[in-house]
Structure 1
Amino acid sequence: MKFIGDRPFSDPDAAARKLLDIVRGSINESGLPHAYTGATNTEFTQAGGSVEEYSIGMKHAAAQKWFEIDPSGTRIVLLADGAE
């Protein structure tokens, strides 16, 4: 079995912080009050994260109250703690 080095987003906090950066950038770029989960997922995986790391990072960021996902599951709304 061959082991690979540490993944950059294997730590939930690192994954959540990367997602927070992506969400902030998306909101600033688009001017909308939210980011879309599909675009955020794509950018996260293109940055080297996995789908599992994305999911864990999203849960961690939501638990930290940095952002929340609206009931439809398609939009991420930045909260006050995440805007800082």
Structure 2
Amino acid sequence: MKHTEERPYANPEPAARKLVELAATVEAVQDGRIYIERINAPFMFKLKGSGSEFGVGLKYAIEHGWLSKHESGTYVKLMPPVKICWLANRKIPADIGRQLRRPYFMGKTPPA
């Protein structure tokens, strides 16, 4: 008999995917920098993830080249969209190219 519910972000991969998805919706400041608290707060308070799930998900995303974290730990950057191909099957915000500061997304050329 289980007394607790299964946590959706207990595994590192779903947590990392959600962090990248959150990072893609946040407007980057200077040079594509996304302050860590801009993805930490929604993950922990809206999605009810824990601090350890956030940390493991962030580590997983960095190891797989989806995000990069500054050595100070204050901000992250999205890596080039080619490395995050799994987003192609998800609903993507219309202004994702502007957010990622890339003229094209996933190698698709703009309409003529």
Query: What's the CA shift for 1:71?
Result: 1.5
Q: Larger radius of gyration, structure 1 or 2?
A: 2
Q: TM-score w.r.t. structure 1 length? A: 0.85
Query: What's the CA shift for 1:22?
Result: 0.6
In the alignment of these two chains, the number of paired residues is 80
> Which stretches of structure 1, 4 residues or more, deviate above 6 A after TM superposition?
none
- What amino acid maps onto 2:59 in structure 1? K
Q: Do residues 67 (structure 1) and 60 (structure 2) align? A: no
For the residue of structure 2 that corresponds to 1:61, the secondary structure is helix
Bigger proportion of residues as helix: 1
Please list, as runs of the form range in 1=range in 2, the aligned pairs for 1:8-47 lying within 5 A after superposition.
Answer: 8-26=8-26, 30-32=27-29, 33-46=32-45, 47=47
Give unmatched runs, 5+ long, in structure 1: none
Query: What's the CA shift for 1:31?
Result: 4.5
Q: Is the 8 A contact 1:37 1:76 kept in 2?
A: yes
Q: RMSD of the TM alignment (CA)?
A: 1.6
